Amino acid sequence: TKALFERHKPTHVIHLAAMVGGLFKNIRYNLDFWRRNVHINDNVLHSAYETGVQKVVSCLSTCIFPDKTTYPIDETMIHNGPPHSSNFGYSYAKRMIDVQNRGYFEQHGCRFTAVIPTNVFGPHDNFNIEDGHVLPGLIHKVYLAKQTGSALTIWGTGKPRRQFIYSLDLARLFLWVLREYDEVEPIILSVGEEDEVSIREAAEAIVEAMDFRGELVFDTTKADGQFKKTASNAKLRLYLPDFQFTPFRQAVKETCAWFSTNYADARK
């Protein structure tokens, strides 16, 4: 990491490097998620400090928030209790970025901050069914079910609720944070609470976008994970009251079209 920073001498850094995975991969490898992410984050932030980077924007996740909490969750609540047990390794490692950002600011005056996106999806995602996140995993499942003429099996009850953000919207917001947002405290990047959808509704949007005519089956022997982690985007709206998010069904349609067109080369 140090060699990379010394070679390129960046002035601004968007830090997205992480060991990531869906619910079932997290449950199996909590220690690995903790160790690898702590090492990655310390390497990136300390190299940024040592090479005089002006601004670092790191990426946290809504799954790092306390499991037992009131809703909606906001930026002040990150450290208010233990995260969900299914991904405690990843969650604590990500929380430490916020701790380090404050440390680098207080001790060295560094402008290191973090954003907290909700569930990101879009073209070029990881569509792996075992390790990917829920939406790209479902898109791949629908694609395969359509090809083979079989039923679509969805893990869990379909009842958990999520706020999804289209990767292209998130990219625009990242650039705004890099250029305009001056706080060290993190900011949640998300659609509003009213745009939360259930896993079942997300699956139905994909089924519609891909014109799947088969049966939908919910495998309730599989874990659901957290029921919801509703985040408030009030702070974002204070800064950007007029930001337009891509409507969910349109974003799903564009992502499904990309996956179908690029199936051979997509990460899966």
pLDDT at 52 over 90: yes
Provide the residue ranges of all domains of the chain, joining segments of one domain with +.
1-123+164-193+230-246
Position 40 confidence tier, pLDDT thresholds 50, 70, 90: very high
Predicted TM-score (pTM) of this structure: 0.89
Catalytic status, residue 263: no
Residue 35 is predicted with a pLDDT of 97
Q: Tell me how far apart the alpha carbons of residues 31 and 144 are, in angstroms, rounded to a whole number.
A: 33
245-268: per-residue pLDDT in tens?
999 999 999 999 999 999 989 988
- If DSSP codes are grouped into helix, strand and coil, which group holds residue 15? strand
pLDDT at 18 over 70: yes
Tokens of 53: 């980077």
Catalytic position from the list 29, 49, 71, 90: 90
Rounded mean pLDDT, 209-217? 89
Position 26 confidence tier, pLDDT thresholds 50, 70, 90: low
Mean pLDDT score across all residues of the chain: 93
Residue 134 is predicted with a pLDDT of 84
65, 73 contact by CB (below 8 A): yes
What percent of the chain stands above pLDDT 90? Answer: 74
88-132: per-residue pLDDT in tens?
999 999 999 999 999 999 999 999 999 999 999 999 999 988 777
What kind of fold does domain 1-123+164-193+230-246 have according to CATH?
Rossmann fold (3.40.50)
135-162: per-residue pLDDT in tens?
999 999 999 999 888 888 888 899 999 9
Residue 221 is predicted with a pLDDT of 87
pLDDT at 60 over 80: yes
Rounded mean pLDDT, 173-177? 98
List, as one string, the DSSP characters of 214-259. S-EEEETTS----S---B--HHHHHH-TTPPPPPHHHHHHHHHHHH
